[in-house]
């Protein structure tokens, strides 16, 4: 029974680490740039290529209204712009701006510093990553 309890404790700890790290990242982004993790995620996704609002909502498991609010905020700051699809004007595409790319670089640095702080006492990151990737492959969420 102890092995199951340890495994449950491990999964609970992983969830706490995720929630805590997102909360701290939100705090740091908020103080620095008044951005949230969702804002960061939208900038990251649109830096790869322009994305539809529907794609963003599905990718980040949020409602379309949440994406609309986030994109409104990012657009007001000049970090993204909306483009109507030329074939179907109902489809709205979000594209990152040059200013958005610069802010994304700064946000990535904030994230990099946070991760370095969080993992400073972890001795074998490669082994830990290997084990976590095995867990991830079993739940089929290997993207992002």
What average pLDDT does range 15-21 have in this prediction? 95
- Domains in the chain, CATH or no CATH each: 1-139 (1.10.10.10)
User: What mean pLDDT is predicted for residues 39-66?
Assistant: 96
Position 120 scores a pLDDT of 92
Q: What is the pLDDT of residue 142?
A: 45
| pTM flag (> 0.95) | no
The pLDDT, as a whole number, for residue 12 is 94
pLDDT tens digit sequence for 72-98:
999 999 999 999 988 888 889 999 999
Q: Got the DSSP string for the chain?
A: -HHHHHHHHHHHHHHHHHHHHHHHHHHHHHHHHS--HHHHHHHHHHHHS-EEHHHHHHHTT--HHHHHHHHHHHHHTTSEEEEE-SS-TT-EEEEE-HHHHHHHHHHHHHHHHHHHHHTTT-S-HHHHHHHHHHHHHHHT----
For 20-37, write each residue's pLDDT tens digit: 999 999 999 998 789 999
């Amino acid at each position: 029974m102890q092995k199951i309890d340890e495994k449950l404790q491990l999964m609970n700890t992983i969830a706490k680490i995720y929630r805590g790290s997102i909360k701290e990242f939100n705090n740091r982004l908020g103080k620095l740039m008044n951005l949230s993790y969702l804002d960061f995620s939208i900038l990251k996704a649109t830096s790869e290529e322009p994305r539809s609002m529907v794609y963003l909502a599905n990718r980040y498991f949020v409602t379309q209204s949440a994406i609309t609010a986030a994109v409104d905020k990012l657009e007001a700051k000049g970090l993204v712009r909306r483009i109507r699809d030329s074939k179907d004007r109902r489809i709205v595409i979000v594209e990152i701006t040059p200013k958005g790319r610069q802010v994304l670089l700064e946000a990535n640095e904030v994230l990099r510093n946070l991760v370095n702080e969080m993992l400073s006492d972890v001795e074998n990151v490669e082994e830990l990553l290997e084990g976590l990737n095995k867990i991830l492959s079993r739940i089929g969420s290997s993207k992002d």
